[in-house]
Amino acid sequence: MQAVKQATKSQLQVGFYTNSCRRAELIVRSAVRDGINKDRGVAAGLVRMHFHDCFVRTGGISYDVQAGRRDGKVSLIAETSDLPGPTLNVDQLTQSFAKKGLSQEEMVTLSGAHTIGRSHCTSFSDRLYKFNGTTSQDPSLDATYAASLKQKCPQGSTDSSLVVPMDTSTPTISDVSYYRDILANRGLFTSDQTLLSNTATASQVNSNSRSPLGWKRKFAAAMVKMGGIGVLTGTTGEIRANCRVINS
């Protein structure tokens, strides 16, 4: 089994398209760079897309990406149940990532992707207004931060376009302010703030908050590892002519 896994992963490599399309990876890198320069939000979208692709069927940090993953031919909404949601506690998060072969430390490292991007109010509004049967507001949430979120996400609002940044200070920059927010009880999701509820993960949050370069190195390594989850190569999957739909 181990030999099979290694053989599958070995089909992914930097420079995968060197013979078939020599400039492919250069073109992609250039397109990504230009896209992020025009809209910083693209970085968060790309990380989200990579995470969802690797978990379901399967901006500021630069690393070589192993190429060769092919597009799947199946897209089932039922399979999104594998995605770790914003309400999970630390044990549930650990189990979710472990199912994909990722360690608890890698889970904490990859959670740092919340340093960029925005969230819809519906993903965390329960922490503000309906936390549990006896408390309306999550007591682990910094009071000043909670008040600010309530202004941006009014109770009972039906406006689905309301969003807030997931990082309070540098929402367009990949840095360790995400971890510093958690230490200040400003983690936006339950799945963020819960990292302080466990001795091991709390220690990793502290360590990452003090080591920007160390976190970036770990994040790059974890992203590359995640890129090898459920990989389709060779004759499995396809290269879509239109990214939005399977080839007919």
Catalytic (active-site) positions: 52
167 assigned to a ligand binding site: yes
Residue closest to 138 by CA, chosen among 219, 192, 214 = 192
The residue behind tokens 């971890």 is: 179
Residue closest to 153 by CA, chosen among 179, 119, 176, 184 = 119
Residue 71 · residue 236 · CB < 8 Å: no
- Adjacent-strand bridge partners of 165: 118
120 assigned to a ligand binding site: no
8 assigned to a ligand binding site: no
Return the SS3 of 120: strand
Per-residue burial over 82-93, b if 16 or more Cβ lie within 10 Å, else e, is: eebebebebeeb
Residue 148 to residue 143: CA distance in whole angstroms: 9
194 assigned to a ligand binding site: no
Annotated binding site: 84, 114-115, 167, 170, 175
Annotated binding site for substrate: 84
Annotated binding site for Ca(2+): 115, 167, 170, 175
Annotated binding site for heme b: 114
